[in-house]
Structure 1
Amino acid sequence: MLRLALIFCCMALSAQAMPIAVRSGEHADFSRLVIMLPKEADWTLDPTAEGYRLETDVDEAQFQIEDVFRLIPRSRVVEIKDDAKVSGLLFTTTEGVKIRSFPLRLGGLVLDFYDAPAQAVEETVAPHAVTSTSRNLQPVPIGAAHLDLYWQGLIDTPPISAPEEQDHTPNEPVLAEAPLSVPQIEQVDERVSAVEERLRQELSRAAAQGLVEVDTAKLHKPAVPKEQGMVDAAPEVTPEQSASAHKPTDQIAFKSKTSIDQANHSARSATDPTESGLRCASDSLFDLGGWIGDGDASDQIGKGRRAVMGEFDKPNQDEVIKLARTYLAFGFGAESRMLLNDMGAPGEARDALFYLADLFDELPDAHQSPFAQMTGCDGNVAAWALLGADPLPPKEDVNFAAVRRSYQGLSPQLRQTIGPDLVARLIALGAPDIARAIRPALSRITEQDRSALHMVDAQLILEKGGADADHSLADVVAQDGPHAAQALLLLIDDKLSRGQAIESKTTQNARALAFELRGTPLSYRLLRAATLGHASVGEFDAAVDLLAGWPVQAEAELRMNTRDEMVRLLVKVPDDGKFLRALFAHMEIVQRSAMQADLRFGLADRLINLGFASTAKQFLAQAKSPNEQDRLLLGKAALASQDAAAALTHFAGISGPEVEALRAQALALIGEHGSAQKAYSKANEPKDAIREAWRGGNWDFVRENADGTERDFANTFAPASRTTATRPEPSGPLSQAEELIAASQKEREIFEKLLGSFAVTDANTAQKPVQSEAVPTN
Structure 2
Amino acid sequence: MIPRFLISALLLLGAGPVLAQTLTVQSGEHATFTRLVTRLPDGATWRIEQDGPVARLFIDDPDVIFDTSGVFRLIPRDRLASLSQAGPGDPLTLDLACNCPVTSFVDDGAYVVLDIGNQVSEDPVRFGLIEQPVPVIEIERDPRRMPTALPLLAGNAAAQLTMNGHSPSAAAAVGDPVTGQLASDPPANQAVSPEPDPGPDLSRSERALREQLSRAATQGLVEIDPDALAEIAAQLDRPEPEDGTPLSSNIRATTSVDRDMVLVTTPQALSGSHGACLDPRKVDLKAWGDDRPFGHQVGAYRARMAGEFDDLSPADVTGLARTYLYFGFGAEARQMLELAGPEAGDLSVPIALARLLDEGGLAKPHPLDDQVHCDSVVALWSVYANPITSQDDVNSGAILRAFAELPVHIRSHIGPGLVRRFTNAGDAETSELLLRMINRAALQDGPPMQLAEAELARLNGAEDEADTIVEEVAHSGVAESPDALITLVNRHFDMRQSLPNDTVNLLESYVTELRRAEIGPQLARTRALALALAGDFPAAFAATEKLDRAGTQETLVKILTLLTESADDLTFLEYSLATTGAGAGALPADLVMQIARRYLGLGFPERVMALLDGPLPGAPAEEYSMLRGQAALDAGQPRRALLELVGRTGPAADALRAEALQMSGLHSEAAELFDALESPEEALRSEWLAGLPPSGDEQEGLYATRKAASQRLTEGPASPTDLSLAAARTLLEQAEALRRDIGLLSEDAEASGQ
Which of 600, 607, 619 is residue 592 of structure 2 equivalent to?
A: 600
Matched residue, 1:334: 331
Matched residue, 1:618: 610
Matched residue, 1:638: 632
Matched, 1:410 2:406: yes
Could you tell me how far apart the structure 1 residues matched to 2:255 and 2:522 are? Answer: 55
The code of the aligned residue for 2:530 comes to: G
Could you tell me how far apart the structure 1 residues matched to 2:398 and 2:447 are? Answer: 25
The code of the aligned residue for 1:602 comes to: Q
Could you tell me how far apart the structure 1 residues matched to 2:691 and 2:195 are? Answer: 118
Matched, 1:650 2:712: no
Report the CA distance shift for 1:181/1:298 in structure 2 as closer, same or farther (over 3 A): same
The code of the aligned residue for 1:438 comes to: L
1:592 partner SS: coil
Matched residue, 2:455: 459
Residues 553-582 of structure 1: CA deviation (Å, up to 9, x unaligned): xx4xx4433333333333223421221121
2:469 partner SS: helix
Could you tell me how far apart the structure 2 residues matched to 1:654 and 1:514 are? Answer: 51
Report the CA distance shift for 1:716/1:701 in structure 2 as closer, same or farther (over 3 A): closer
Deviation of residue 632 (structure 1)? 3.2
The code of the aligned residue for 1:185 comes to: R
Could you tell me how far apart the structure 2 residues matched to 1:194 and 1:618 are? Answer: 72
Deviation of residue 367 (structure 1)? 3.7
Matched residue, 2:667: 673
The code of the aligned residue for 1:614 comes to: E
Aligned residue pairs total: 501
Report the CA distance shift for 1:285/1:643 in structure 2 as closer, same or farther (over 3 A): closer
Matched, 1:398 2:394: yes
Matched, 1:185 2:225: no
Could you tell me how far apart the structure 1 residues matched to 2:252 and 2:482 are? Answer: 65
Could you tell me how far apart the structure 1 residues matched to 2:694 and 2:585 are? Answer: 54
Matched residue, 2:37: none
Could you tell me how far apart the structure 2 residues matched to 1:300 and 1:588 are? Answer: 65
Deviation of residue 597 (structure 1)? 2.9
Contact 1:607 1:613 in 2 (8 A): yes
1:500 partner SS: coil
Aligned counterparts, 1:489-508, within 5 A: 489-507=486-504
1:663 partner SS: helix
Aligned counterparts, 1:45-194, within 5 A: 152-156=183-187, 182=198, 183=200, 184-186=203-205
The code of the aligned residue for 2:334 comes to: R
Matched residue, 1:577: 570
Deviation of residue 158 (structure 1)? 7.0
Deviation of residue 193 (structure 1)? 11
Matched residue, 1:568: 561
Residues 576-605 of structure 1: CA deviation (Å, up to 9, x unaligned): 1221121234445875345x4333322222
Could you tell me how far apart the structure 2 residues matched to 1:571 and 1:638 are? Answer: 22
Could you tell me how far apart the structure 1 residues matched to 2:695 and 2:487 are? Answer: 60
- TM-score, L = length of structure 1: 0.54
Deviation of residue 712 (structure 1)? 8.6
Contact 2:661 2:667 in 1 (8 A): yes
Which of 285, 310, 314 is residue 317 of structure 1 equivalent to?
A: 314
Aligned counterparts, 1:677-692, within 5 A: 677-682=671-676, 688-689=682-683, 692=686
The code of the aligned residue for 2:283 comes to: L
Matched residue, 1:294: 292
Could you tell me how far apart the structure 1 residues matched to 2:630 and 2:654 are? Answer: 12
Contact 2:277 2:374 in 1 (8 A): no
Deviation of residue 677 (structure 1)? 3.2
Matched residue, 1:772: 751
Contact 1:332 1:360 in 2 (8 A): yes
2:339 partner SS: helix
Deviation of residue 349 (structure 1)? 8.1
Could you tell me how far apart the structure 1 residues matched to 2:259 and 2:590 are? Answer: 53
Could you tell me how far apart the structure 2 residues matched to 1:404 and 1:159 are? Answer: 64
Could you tell me how far apart the structure 2 residues matched to 1:159 and 1:686 are? Answer: 119
Matched residue, 2:371: 374
Matched residue, 2:437: 441
Deviation of residue 356 (structure 1)? 1.2
Deviation of residue 473 (structure 1)? 1.1
Contact 2:605 2:632 in 1 (8 A): yes
Deviation of residue 389 (structure 1)? 4.9
Aligned counterparts, 1:225-304, within 5 A: 276=274, 278-283=276-281, 285-288=283-286, 291=289, 293-295=291-293
Report the CA distance shift for 1:717/1:362 in structure 2 as closer, same or farther (over 3 A): same
Deviation of residue 380 (structure 1)? 2.1
Could you tell me how far apart the structure 2 residues matched to 1:539 and 1:195 are? Answer: 80
Contact 1:634 1:647 in 2 (8 A): yes
Gaps of 5+ in 1: 1-150, 161-175, 210-273, 721-735, 759-768
The code of the aligned residue for 1:646 comes to: R
Q: What do you get for the CA RMSD once the two structures are aligned?
A: 4.8
Report the CA distance shift for 1:544/1:687 in structure 2 as closer, same or farther (over 3 A): same
The code of the aligned residue for 1:208 comes to: L
Deviation of residue 433 (structure 1)? 0.9
Could you tell me how far apart the structure 2 residues matched to 1:663 and 1:473 are? Answer: 53
Deviation of residue 340 (structure 1)? 0.9
- TM-score, L = length of structure 2: 0.55
Which of 601, 607, 613 is residue 609 of structure 1 equivalent to?
A: 601
Contact 2:384 2:417 in 1 (8 A): yes
1:322 partner SS: helix
Residues 653-685 of structure 1: CA deviation (Å, up to 9, x unaligned): 333333322222222223333322333455565
Deviation of residue 435 (structure 1)? 1.1
Matched residue, 1:530: 527
Matched residue, 2:10: none
Could you tell me how far apart the structure 2 residues matched to 1:716 and 1:413 are? Answer: 94
Could you tell me how far apart the structure 1 residues matched to 2:476 and 2:341 are? Answer: 38
Matched residue, 1:37: none
Could you tell me how far apart the structure 2 residues matched to 1:198 and 1:413 are? Answer: 55
Could you tell me how far apart the structure 2 residues matched to 1:422 and 1:666 are? Answer: 60
Which of 330, 353, 363 is residue 356 of structure 1 equivalent to?
A: 353
Matched, 1:208 2:270: yes
Report the CA distance shift for 1:683/1:515 in structure 2 as closer, same or farther (over 3 A): farther
Could you tell me how far apart the structure 1 residues matched to 2:452 and 2:339 are? Answer: 38
Gaps of 5+ in 2: 1-181, 206-248, 713-725
Could you tell me how far apart the structure 2 residues matched to 1:376 and 1:541 are? Answer: 48
More deviation, 386-395/369-378: 386-395
Report the CA distance shift for 1:201/1:597 in structure 2 as closer, same or farther (over 3 A): farther
Contact 1:207 1:277 in 2 (8 A): no
Could you tell me how far apart the structure 1 residues matched to 2:641 and 2:365 are? Answer: 53
1:185 partner SS: helix
Contact 1:657 1:682 in 2 (8 A): no
Deviation of residue 401 (structure 1)? 1.4
The code of the aligned residue for 1:281 comes to: D
Matched residue, 1:76: none
Contact 2:684 2:704 in 1 (8 A): no
Contact 1:644 1:669 in 2 (8 A): yes
1:415 partner SS: helix
2:406 partner SS: coil
2:185 partner SS: coil
Matched, 1:432 2:428: yes
2:475 partner SS: helix
Report the CA distance shift for 1:696/1:275 in structure 2 as closer, same or farther (over 3 A): closer
Identity %: 25
